[in-house]
Amino acid sequence: MSYYQPPSRPGSPRPLRTLGLVLGAVLATVLLGFAFLVAATPQSVPGHAQLSLVQHSGTGQQVAAPLSTQAIANKVNPGLVNINTTLGYRGQQAAGTGMVLTPNGEVLTNNHVVAGATSIRATAVGNGRTYGATVIGYDRTRDVAVLKLDGASGLPTVPLGDSSRVAVGDSIVALGNAGGAGGTPVPAPGKVSALNQSVNALDESTGNTEQLSGLIQVSANIQSGDSGGALAGSTGRVIGMTTAAATGGPGGEGGGIGYAMPINQALSVARQIVSGAASETVHLGKSAFLGVAINDSVSGAVIQQVVAGGPAAHAGIAVGDTLTTFDGHAVDSASTLTGLMDRFHPGDKVGVGWLNQAGHERTATVTLAEGPVG
């Protein structure tokens, strides 16, 4: 993690990430689960050589008789988990959803559900047990993460469908940890209203932006906490992973418009993660940590806070200094630093440069620590 978001107050709810959605000439605002910002470290993860999934690839959603909303929920809910995270450096907690892919507890979710977490716990809807969880890997740019539930076995998995067969007008049911309430997810029925949508994401707490594309747009009551949950088709097979919702409803409700990542796209990333194939965007294992909070300004990457006892503090970096270089590369913003940090892992030594408040240039070599999830 390149830096952390300072807490507003102990126990405060994690802020929502907003998205600007561009649909032709229409500009709307949408919410995406919970805020995120962390840099990761690519490293190999033993013991996860292959992700074997049974994925239905019929000729359409209506091959089998459509099920009732409750029947779909009964079919999908046992394979869901309610995720709760502690954001230690922010003094906050957050909640989301995940989908069980394998009986031994490999779970698919959005990266933003677990980003910034210093601990993760997941309660399986199917058996009611709560497990500690570790992150196998994640892709921040495509907002996908895969978790491993500690000590899990014999878990029911979600029934997987084929998102390439989805059409506008198809009936859907969204299932997730709405509002972070826990327990058995309450179904949110709706329809597919558009395909292949793109959203520009803005994290209001950090100012970072990203684009997600190829999303399924639905008319359904998506809420905060639903992120990482299941979007099921009329036959009860998962065709998408709930990722975003339009603003407008009270209490984090989505105002009736939601967005899901096609399940084929999400599973492609998940398979890459579980196979241990790191790339420019896929990061495996633990995250590196410099220990500074950065405030982007016209004068550059100004240090807002420094974690006591962290690598930056040991180097002599102080609040009010301006970070200028990392590993020999120029740093002009928080997002630039996060991208540079992706190349490193805990224990790596790296050169940093900064300008102190007196205007003097300083350099040091720091040993990166282990930080929160990316």
112 is catalytic: yes
Q: CA-CA distance, 188 to 171, in Å (whole number)?
A: 11
Exactly one of 2, 48, 112, 226 is catalytic; name it: 112
Exactly one of 2, 48, 139, 143 is catalytic; name it: 143
Exactly one of 227, 234, 287, 335 is catalytic; name it: 227
Give the dihedral of Cα atoms 356, 359, 361, 367; nearest 10 deg: 10
SS3 52: coil
- Plot region of 43 (φ>0 → left; ψ -120 to 50 → alpha; else → beta): beta
- Plot region of 200 (φ>0 → left; ψ -120 to 50 → alpha; else → beta): beta
228 within 8 A of 98, measured Cβ to Cβ: yes
Q: CA-CA distance, 260 to 266, in Å (whole number)?
A: 10
Q: Are strands 12-13 and 92-100 parallel, antiparallel or unpaired?
A: parallel
Q: Given the structure tokens 């909303």, which residue do they identify?
A: 69
Token pair in block for residue 211? 């684009």
328 within 8 A of 28, measured Cβ to Cβ: no
227 is catalytic: yes
Beta bridge partners of 262: 240
- The residues assigned a catalytic role are 112, 143, 227
